[in-house]
Amino acid sequence: MVDEIAGSEKGMSAGAQVVAAVVVVGGLLGALWGVGDLVGKPYDPDKPATCSPSHSAPPTSQIVTGAQMCAALNRPDLPALLGTPDEHAVNAWGNDGAIEHADGTKTATPGAEVGLKSHHVKLSSSYDRFPVAQLAELLGTTVQKQTVLGHPAFFSSDRTLALTFNAGGKSSSQPGVMARSLLVAKDAKDGGGSYELVVWRPDGMLPDDATLTRIAEQVLPTVPGWSAS
């Protein structure tokens, strides 16, 4: 979901390539939202991007919106939190998506994404009933348990998927770079639901955990509905 990826693809005709995107394949809260917002989106590389409006409506007024999450994530000091203070946001948007389950029910997953030249950051919120500790046990040794602002949390890694969409509406895919994820329980009692912060780099280097923790500690308390206890 980044303009830099589109620009770095070699050997593809400019007429055939519309946009290339990067998505987290197995992200716990991941979904293919945001790709539609990127197509044809103009931006000024010399100015920090502002949050683009979502094209979908939130399922209920009781749930934080993608626009609110984008406002929380697209903060002026995000580049500094990432360790690249001289950069600025190239694109930013929110989305009010949902995951549909086999029984027809839906779980709201509003979120936001901010892209810089060196990093891409995605923040999602899930309103499911799964405690973070339970998810950590299911994943076993592949995760690293953590506590963030008194909330149960864990780190995990996943590979992104590079997608290319052509003018005919067809897409092709190939393995992308690795992404680092931090899943944080919505409340200290871990009663269900979570926030997921995902960071990846176009150069393929895996973001360090200290960076994700630093961002989460600053951003999550500014998301409407965050529970400090």
Burial 49-69 (b: 16+ CB within 10 A, else e): bebbebebebbeeebbbbbbb
Q: Is residue 95 part of a domain?
A: yes
Total-model pTM: 0.79
Mean pLDDT of 110-139: 92
Q: Is residue 34 part of a domain?
A: no
Residue where the block lists tokens 């046990």: 137
Nearest in space to 158 (alpha carbons), one of 143, 140, 174, 145: 143
Q: Is residue 134 part of a domain?
A: yes
Q: Is residue 32 part of a domain?
A: no
Spacing of C-alpha 200 from chain mean position: 9
Quick one: pLDDT at residue 44? 61
Q: Is residue 39 part of a domain?
A: no
Backbone φ and ψ for 73, nearest 5 degrees, come out as -80, -40
Q: Is residue 183 part of a domain?
A: yes
Q: Is residue 37 part of a domain?
A: no
- The yes-or-no verdict on residue 6 having pLDDT over 80 is no
Quick one: pLDDT at residue 159? 85
Quick one: pLDDT at residue 157? 92
Q: Is residue 124 part of a domain?
A: yes
Quick one: pLDDT at residue 53? 72
Q: Work out how many domains the chain is built from and give that number.
A: 1
Backbone φ and ψ for 18, nearest 5 degrees, come out as -95, -50
Rounded Cα distance between 162 and 141, Å, is 27
CATH, residue 52: 3.40.1000
Can you give the residue range of the structural domain that contains 190?
45-159+177-222
